[in-house]
């Protein structure tokens, strides 16, 4: 099961990086979303992949540390999901504004707007 999760994280990271390097805004937004999903899956996997285990200790005597999952990665993942949702909404609105203002959704700068000397006017 660990190998399957590792392969899924690697595939999602690779496709996210590929999409972020595209020259259109929609694939960049999708790539950033895929990378945030891969990071969230990685955070959950760091808390140990245990099935049907509670996130708190149940034994009142000597604690059995193999009978629970770590709650900290779960809390970090929930926080990361909320933050990534908000940032995705901001990036979508920024890209929509750039599309309306510029007329296309290409990320690269047109040749007419580039400066050769690099100095500000």
Residue 120 lies in a domain: no
Q: Per residue of the chain (121 residues), what is the pLDDT tens digit?
A: 788 989 999 999 999 999 999 888 889 999 999 999 999 999 888 877 777 776 666 666 666 666 667 778 888 899 999 999 999 999 999 889 888 887 888 877 667 776 666 555 5
Please tell me whether the overall predicted TM-score, pTM, comes out greater than 0.85 for this model: no
User: Could you give the number of structural domains in the chain?
Assistant: 1
Which pLDDT belongs to residue 62? 62
Which pLDDT belongs to residue 75? 86
> Contact, 31 vs 16, CB < 8 A?
yes
Q: Which whole-number Å values give the CA distances from 9 to 13, 57, 77, 114, 120, in the listed order?
A: 6, 29, 14, 38, 43
Residue 40 lies in domain: 2-57+66-113
> Contact, 58 vs 67, CB < 8 A?
yes
CATH of the domain at 14: 1.10.287
Which pLDDT belongs to residue 86? 94
Structure tokens at 97: 């504004």
Work out the end-to-end distance of the chain between its first and last CA atoms, rounded to an integer number of angstroms: 59
Q: Which helix (H) or strand (E) holds 5?
A: helix 2-20
| CA separation for the pair 25, 114 (Å, rounded) | 20
Which pLDDT belongs to residue 59? 62
């Amino acid at each position: 099961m660990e190998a399957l999760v590792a392969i899924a994280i690697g595939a999602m990271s690779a496709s996210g990086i590929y999409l972020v390097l595209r020259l259109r805004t929609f694939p960049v937004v999708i790539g950033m979303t895929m990378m945030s999903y891969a990071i969230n899956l990685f955070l959950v996997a760091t808390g140990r992949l245990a099935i049907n285990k509670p996130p708190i200790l149940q034994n009142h005597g000597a604690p059995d540390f193999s009978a629970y999952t770590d709650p900290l990665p779960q809390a970090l993942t929930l926080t990361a999901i909320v933050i990534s949702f908000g940032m995705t909404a901001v990036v979508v609105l920024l890209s929509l504004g750039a599309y309306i203002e510029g007329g296309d959704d290409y990320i690269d700068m047109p040749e007419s707007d580039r400066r050769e000397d690099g100095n500000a006017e």
